[in-house]
Amino acid sequence: TQSEPTKKMTMDKPVESLLSTTASKLVGKPINRVDGSLKVSGQAKYSAEIHLDNQVYGVLVGATIAKGQVEKIDSDSLKGIPNIIKVVTDPEHFLRNSQQGGAKKAPKQGVSEIFYHGQPIAVVIAETFEAATEGAKALKVTYKDETDQAALNFTQELSNAHAVDEKNGSDKNYVQGDPDQGLADAEVTIDRFYHTPSQNSAAMEPHATLAHWEEDKLILYTANQMLASCKQQVMDALDLNKDQVQLIAHYVGGGFGSKLGIAPESIAAAIAAKELGRPVLITMTRPQVMEATIRRSNTRQRIAIGCDKEGVIDTLIHDTVSSNLPGEAFFEPTALSTHYLYRGKNRRVHYEMVDMNQVLSGSMRAPGEAVGMIAVECAMDELASQLDIDPIELRRRNEPEKDPSKDIPFSTRQLIACMEQGAEQFGWSKRNTKPASQLEGDWWIGTGMAAAARGNQLQPSEARATLQVDKSKTLGVKAVIETDMTDIGTGSYTVFSQVAADLLGLPIDHIEMKLGDSALPPASGSGGSWGAASAGSSIYLACEQLREMLAEKVGLYPDTIQLADGHIKQVGEHELTAVETAKKNSQAFADSTINKISETTGISLSEQVLEEQALSESEKYDFDNNDSYALTDIVGKYDEQKISAKGQIKPGKNDKKYRQSSFGANFAEVAVHKVTGEIRVKRMTGAFAAGRILNQKTATSQCYGGMVFGIGSALMEEVIHDKRDGRLCNHDLAEYHVPVNADVPQLDVILVEEDDPYTNPMHVKGIGETAIAGAAAAIANAVYNAVGVRVYDFPITLDKLL
């Protein structure tokens, strides 16, 4: 409700964290996932597993041309197939497909116009999934084919590259000093083009939506990362108001960017369900996921570095061309970290785009850094070889004291600590520095490293915390946390439970975490590695508000309470505020003084009086003898035997005053077969500094994931579109290769200690995408060290080494 007490925080200055001083210290511990047993026992229901009475099944039909117009969708072609109900088609809506998290409006891509092969144009509805699948296969569609003019060859289209829409991008073009002149004047230079391919998020759970209308209200059970912004997209697409749309995603099987926005199956299911008056489930097949959700754009990146003979950089150029559908604003922000990673007074970041008739490109796994740092970090390695300087030493020499492009300090920057701790663990000092010098049996052995950086982000987020009497619990009290934040496999349920448990002094099984429903307070959603920090902070603030309410109830100052084992007690002395100090020091206590103090502290006189009244009730609670009181008794005295509060976090000036980033370093050892060129990653070590670690186990798993992505993007992942007709050639996991267990060796993760008070009240930074950045470059650099061959065209497949 409106009147719910709400703790709001805008990050305008450094803040202390209560998590440093709570009595119970669940935060940080490597505890198992609280939802783990539900998942392994199959009780955690994913969207496609929800079943509603009377539901029917839809299967999408994709265009079989890359550019042109639909002429006719012939429903009659399905006559005779049993159990078919209807072919639903509504091109104006189906064609909307926005994957960009921040986007308020789903882009319009025209009416009945085809922009890429596989674009959904109809959905066949049937009583069974099998019948719908058969119908989708049999549906006859005719086109006015314009494949000839489709843009299907990136290299050819490069000459038509155009400026990007900086307004809607997550990075901007940037020039500092005179980069071209700087390069021309430099004693030592390196100037290379790198190519990275289109990639697919390849989340385990394919996109699926069960749509259901309750009169005029649409309920979507859908695989989604960001419910609040996706709800807005659904409202925009279908012209519905906010009370008419509810999105539910209790469990999501990975997203990696592909579920940041609504995918076509959501809208198709909503329209079909409306037409039929029955719930409609549409599950995309793996090929459909790959053809019609998003891809990460391929890139061509130029990296040029100018430095002196000691390797001290003064010029850094990063020019990138990426691709997207015509009219789309998103471009791959490859140079996000190039702005601040290394020193240099001349710097250019420049983006261009090429229009292609290929599936929409969007944010995927560390959009920007994941492929941008392949180029930068491979170039740094080549520069180090050229100068005969150790790659770590080269990076050390280029460590900037401040953000070199903005002249603002880093909130924290631990690149050197990460490189040192990683090097120590990996045994970097024992490496063979000469390329192609270590043959073991039939295998060339090599080692390489790369820096990692991923910009830290905070998004507005809201949550509610309710403390309530629950006699079924041992301590008689439990906390319910509510927010529309998702858990996409990252561990949200678990880490937020740890935060709430510590702040409220309850065991973890006394926390009921309600996530993944847009009817709950709107959170940041899961994207950009900001989820733990943003949604977590709103939960933290809601719990802090509850702590203050409890303190008031028992007549203690909030800074003198300790909550543990379901009890409250007094600890330490209250630190006097400015107002309180003035009062104590001045008998006269003139109104004018108070007014003056009120002006400077922002604390009003009335709040002051209220606080005094609250404290005067303290006779009911005597804390003199180290007494503690059960929360169940205190909460029991509230109406309805519960108290509820909200928390709201917002980014503020800290984002502008301090460059915030997580840093890290990846190390890899590879073996390359001397005859076949086969590449095996033998081991990897990653060291990452990402602020407070909420859970050692889930954080480590996030890093494993990032490093595995590094293996994929270094050695195998590549979406291939046929240059003749735009068809996606490798649209399943048999042909689009991601690393499997046999490809992933021992991974060592070091979580480097860090406390960053500028980020949020928990001091948490994004970690999921940090480990990806540079991971592929470390492998590429190891391949060079093994065989002496630099590959500039990713992935590094064996043919490129022969």
Positions annotated as catalytic residues are: 769
Nearer to ligand MOS, 330 or 784 (CB): 330
Residue type, 545: Q
* Least distance in angstroms from the C-beta of 768 to ligand MOS: 8
Alpha helices in 388-491 (DSSP H): 391-397, 415-426
Handedness of CA 674, 676, 677, 682 (dihedral sign): negative
Any contact of residue 297 with ligand MOS (CB under 6 A)? no
Q: Which residue among 364, 480, 481, 752 contacts ligand MOS (CB under 6 A)?
A: 364
Identity of the residue, 357 or 490, whose beta carbon is nearer to ligand MOS in the bound complex = 490
Sequence-separated (6 or more) residues with CB below 8 Å from residue 576:
584
Peptide bond into 795 cis (omega under 30): yes
For residues 634 and 569, what is the distance between their CA atoms, to the nearest angstrom?
12
Question: Do residues 296 and 371 touch, judged by C-beta distance below 8 A?
Answer: yes
- Cα dihedral 84, 85, 90, 94, rounded to 10, equals -60
Q: Does 253 bind ligand MOS (CB under 6 A)?
A: no
- In sequence order, which residues have a C-beta less than 8 Å from that of residue 466 and are 6 or more positions away? 479, 480, 481, 482, 642, 643, 644, 645
Kindly indicate which of the ranges 255-263, 428-436, 463-471, 564-572 contains the residues binding ligand MOS, using the contact rule CB under 6 A. Answer: 255-263
58 interacts with ligand MOS by CB under 6 A: no
Task: Out of 47, 119, 225, 698, point to the residue binding ligand MOS (CB under 6 A).
Answer: 225
Listed ranges 364-372, 455-463, 618-626, 741-749: which one lies at the site for ligand MOS (CB under 6 A): 364-372
Measured CA to CA, the distance from residue 748 to residue 729 in angstroms comes to 35
3-state per-residue secondary structure call for 312-354:
CEEEEEEEEEEEECCCCCCCCCCCCCCCCCCCCCEEEEEEEEE
10 Å CB burial of residue 788 (0-12, 13-18, 19+) is middle
Which residue in 182, 491, 527, 726 binds ligand MOS (CB under 6 A)? 527
Q: Which of 46, 57, 221, 256 binds ligand MOS (CB under 6 A)?
A: 256
- Give yes or no for residue 261 binding ligand MOS (CB under 6 A): no
Closest contact distance (angstroms) between CB of 252 and ligand MOS is 11
Size of the site for ligand MOS (CB under 6 A): 11
Structure tokens at 72: 């006719």
Closer residue to ligand MOS in complex, CB, 257/422: 257
Please identify, using beta-carbon distances, which residue of 256 and 784 lies nearer to ligand MOS.
Answer: 256
| Least distance from ligand MOS to the Cβ atom of residue 260, Å | 5
**Quick one: 527 or 774, whose CB is closer to ligand MOS?**
527
φ and ψ at residue 318, rounded to 5 degrees? -135, 100
Nearest distance, CB of residue 332 and ligand MOS, angstroms: 11
Closest CA to 497 of 474, 472, 476, 515: 515
**Residue 28, phi-psi category: left (phi > 0), alpha (psi -120 to 50), beta (remainder):** left
User: Is 532 a residue that touches ligand MOS (CB under 6 A)?
Assistant: no
| Minimum separation from the CB atom of position 526 to ligand MOS (A) | 7
Find the shortest distance in angstroms from Cβ 370 to ligand MOS.
9
Nearer to ligand MOS, 476 or 527 (CB): 527
Say how far apart CA 27 and CA 495 lie, in whole Å.
7
* CB of residue 217 to ligand MOS, shortest distance in Å: 28
Q: Which of 93, 347, 365, 567 binds ligand MOS (CB under 6 A)?
A: 365
Query: For tokens 């490129």, what's the residue?
Result: 800
Task: End-to-end CA distance of the chain: give it in Å, rounded.
Answer: 67
* Binds ligand MOS (CB under 6 A): choice among 422, 505, 522, 528: 528
Closer residue to ligand MOS (CB): 147 or 322: 322
- Least CB distance to ligand MOS at residue 201 (A): 7
Using rule CB under 6 A, residue 97 touches ligand MOS: no
Q: Give DSSP secondary structure letters for 361-391.
A: B---SSTTHHHHHHHHHHHHHHHHHHHT--H
Span interacting with ligand MOS, options 184-192, 280-288, 362-370, 704-712, rule CB under 6 A: 362-370
List 179, 367, 531, 766, residue binding ligand MOS (CB under 6 A)? 367
Rounded to whole angstroms, how far apart are CA atoms 625 and 647?
Answer: 33
Q: Which stretch, 253-261, 284-292, 394-402, 474-482, contacts ligand MOS (CB under 6 A)?
A: 253-261
Minimal CA–CA distance to 538: which of 465, 478, 468? 465
Under the binding rule (CB under 6 A), the answer on residue 62 touching ligand MOS is no
The residue among 341 and 370 lying less far from ligand MOS, judged by its C-beta, is 370
Longest alpha-carbon distance in the chain:
95
Residue with nearest beta carbon to ligand MOS: 257
Interacting stretch for ligand MOS, rule CB under 6 A, among 250-258, 283-291, 562-570, 632-640? 250-258
Contacts of 615 (CB under 8 A, 6+ apart): 555, 557
Residue choice 257, 455, 691, 774 for contact with ligand MOS (CB under 6 A) = 257
Angstrom distance (rounded) from CA 392 to CA 429: 10
β-bridge mates for residue 366, sequence order:
none
DSSP for 115-148, written as a single string: -STT-EEEEEEESSHHHHHHHHHH-EEEEEE-GG
3-state per-residue secondary structure call for 668-686:
EEEEEECCCCCEEEEEEEE
Is residue 120 a contact point for ligand MOS (CB under 6 A)?
Answer: no
Binding mask of the shown chain, residues 167 to 196, with x at each position contacting ligand MOS by CB under 6 A: ------------------------------
Q: How far is the CB of 155 from ligand MOS (least distance, A)?
A: 26
Min. distance of Cβ 508 from ligand MOS in angstroms?
Answer: 27
Residue 224 within binding range of ligand MOS, rule CB under 6 A? no
| CB 719 within 8 Å of CB 801 | no
- Contacting range for ligand MOS; rule: CB under 6 A; set: 254-262, 392-400, 586-594, 647-655: 254-262
Identify which of residues 94 and 256 has a Cβ nearer to ligand MOS in the complex.
256
Stretch in the footprint of ligand MOS (CB under 6 A) among 66-74, 276-284, 301-309, 357-365: 357-365
Sign of CA dihedral 176, 177, 182, 184: positive
Give the residue with the Cβ less far from ligand MOS, 293 or 466.
293
Interaction between residue 342 and ligand MOS (CB under 6 A) = no
Q: Is the Cβ of residue 212 or residue 295 nearer to ligand MOS in the bound state? A: 295
Does residue 311 belong to the site contacting ligand MOS (CB under 6 A)? no
Residue (203 or 281) nearer to ligand MOS, CB: 203
Query: CA–CA separation, 627 vs 554, rounded Å?
Result: 12
**Residues forming the site for ligand MOS (CB under 6 A):** 225, 255-257, 260, 363-365, 367, 527-528
